[in-house]
Amino acid sequence: MQSNKKIVLTKIQFKDKDALAIGFKFAEETKALVKQINGIQWSTTNNTYFVLKEKHSINMLFNHFKPHGYFVDYSAFTKPSSRVYKEPRKLRLQASMKQMHASLPLSFRELLRDYTGFLKSKRLSQSTIKSYGYFVLRFLDFYKPKVIKDLKKRDLDKFFEVVLAGENFSISSHRQCVSALKYFISYCQLPELEADDLKRPKKSKKLPVVLSPNKIIILIQVTKNLKHRAIIGLLYSCGLRIGELLNLKLNALDFDRKQLNVRQSKGRKDRNVVMSEALKPLLLNYLNTYKPKHFVFEGRAGGPYAATSIRQFLKRSCQLAGITKKVTPHVLRHSYATHLMENGVGLRHIQLLLGHAKPETTMIYTHVAQRDLMQISSPLDTTVEAITKSHKQPQEVLLSRKLRD
């Protein structure tokens, strides 16, 4: 590789914004190519050309220089960062996805359409199809100059390096991407690739965030809007996923039997959960006030309420309640499960109430339940107690030093 054919990307700050500095050995040809980059700017302070860092900046620069025989060194961005790329379905990616799709060759667009149909034939959920379609769209956009049949294992590795690692996707997104490409390889029957060769990274084993029962009550109390109070109360008291709450229809509420009927939730499963007696007056007040027609919680246009709206008002309510933990709607579900376990409800019953397919998923709450843990004595307390009892004349054992005058 020629020394003047190397581009080095590094991190800089421009007016408190993240930016990518574009380093290269001076050559008129290289300088002219750099100046063709969309959004390129010059920093006098850093004495370098740069672009503001966006989600696809590294991929864009890689594709800009690669056809001209340049090697792009982006190693500065492959190290773990505190910024984690959120799940694609939680972002407003429609505009960028449309641009990527429009830039694909016709054959690639047809392939993506057929791949989506293939996923539908597998009876995957709409959200899964959307996520898998996103990753395959990114993959096709990354390799659009190539012929799909010629792809090799190294091409997949490069995609994971530049896109997944370069843009710092989360581990869960990485696992989703591997699943998407496994289906893609299986569908295309690529001669140089085997779906089994793709390995998913191990899941991150993080303990769920949980609020105390008292904090839950305060959270509901400080929420001023009636609809918002009802949403928080129902999410917690029934342990619902946010998607389950948004899709609840009026006939799911069975006040006579004190049950909530959750239909076709994750894994296309139905389940019944116990409705809170304490929440019943609040729910009835909400229904009589807002008079929803189809869904329990409706937006202004009459369709399901927006998930982003729930996250926004939940954040405000947490601030009013003095809660410093990062609280999402799913934290209320985690809290529901943990509090059930601390109240002595069996693991199997909690599994059914949450709609978990495997008991292993539910068992994570055994690590955060505090009821039994709080009854364990510290070994220091045990030692002090034993020393105190060993003396004929009971005396207090002090741990603070006796300082001389």
Select which of 182, 229, 333, 339 is catalytic. 333
Residue 404 lies inside a defined structural domain of this protein: no
Same domain, yes or no, for 159 and 222?
no
330 in active site = yes
Please give the order of strands across the beta sheet that includes 71-73: 41-43, 48-52, 17-24, 6-14, 71-73
**Tokens representing residue 236 in the block:** 């917690």
Pick the catalytic residue from 5, 66, 241, 263. 241
CB 168 within 8 A of CB 81: yes
Residue 190 domain-assigned (yes or no): yes
pTM passes above 0.75: no
Question: Of the listed 266, 271, 280, 311, which one is catalytic?
Answer: 266
Burial of 227 (0-12, 13-18, 19+ CB in 10 A): middle
Residue matched to tokens 């919680």: 297
What are 30's two structure tokens? 């290289």
* CATH number of the structural domain spanning residue 43: 3.30.780.10
50 domain residue, yes or no:
yes
> 61 with 104, same domain?
no
Residue entry with tokens 């984690």: 84
Does residue 168 fall inside a structural domain?
yes
Q: CA-CA distance, 99 to 88, in Å (whole number)?
A: 16
> 229 catalytic, yes or no?
no
Instruction: State whether 244 and 299 are in the same domain.
Output: yes
Residue at 104 is within a domain? yes
Residues 161 and 258 in one domain: no
pLDDT of residue 395: 59
**Residue where a domain terminates, one of 18, 52, 77:** 77
- Domain residues for the domain of 288 are 213-366
User: Do 253 and 355 belong together in one domain?
Assistant: yes
**Are 228 and 323 in a shared domain?**
yes
Per the domain annotation, does 181 fall within a domain? yes
**Enclosing H/E stretch for 14:** strand 6-14
Token duo for residue 278? 């304490």
Residues 189 and 324 grouped into a single domain: no
Mention every residue, 6+ apart, whose C-beta is less than 8 A from residue 393: none
Write down the pLDDT at residue 85.
Answer: 45
Query: Per the structure block, which two tokens stand in for 386?
Result: 């034993």
356: domain CATH number is: 1.10.443.10
Q: Is 339 a catalytic residue?
A: no
Q: Is residue 294 flagged as an active site residue? A: no
pLDDT of res. 81: 44
Distance CA 351, CA 345 (A): 10
- E strand or H helix at 21, and its extent? strand 17-24
Whether the CA torsion 172, 94, 121, 357 is positive or negative: it is positive
119/56 same-domain check:
no
Whether residue 160 is found in the same domain as residue 221: no
pLDDT at 294: 92
Determine the Cα–Cα distance for residues 384 and 380; give it in Å rounded to an integer.
6
pLDDT reported for residue 59: 87
229 and 343 in a single domain? The answer is yes
Render each residue's pLDDT in the chain as its tens digit; 405 residues: 556 788 989 888 877 788 899 988 888 889 899 999 989 998 877 778 999 988 788 888 988 888 888 888 887 776 544 444 444 444 445 557 788 888 888 888 899 999 999 999 988 888 889 899 999 999 998 888 778 888 888 888 888 888 888 888 888 888 999 999 999 988 888 777 777 778 888 776 677 888 988 999 999 999 999 999 999 999 998 889 898 899 899 999 999 888 888 887 676 678 888 888 888 999 999 999 999 999 999 988 778 899 999 999 999 999 999 999 999 999 998 888 888 888 888 778 888 888 776 776 666 666 656 555 555 556 666 666 776 777 655 556 556 555 444
- 83 catalytic residue (yes or no): no
Question: What pLDDT, on a 0 to 100 scale, did the predictor assign at position 77?
Answer: 73
Is residue 33 located within the same domain as residue 171? no
Q: Give Cβ neighbours of residue 40 (< 8 Å, ≥ 6 apart).
A: 22, 34, 49, 50, 51
Question: pLDDT value at position 312?
Answer: 93
Residue 191 sits in a domain whose CATH number is 1.10.150.130
Q: How far is CA 43 from the centre of its chain?
A: 35
Residue 59 forms part of a structural domain? yes
Residue 206 lies in a domain: no
Q: Is 6 assigned a catalytic role?
A: no
Report the candidate in 269, 217, 209, 260 with the shortest Cα–Cα distance to residue 239: 260
Do 237 and 313 fall within a single domain? yes
The total of structural domains in the chain comes to 3
Q: Which helix (H) or strand (E) holds 217?
A: helix 213-222
Signed CA dihedral, 273, 278, 283, 288: sign only: positive
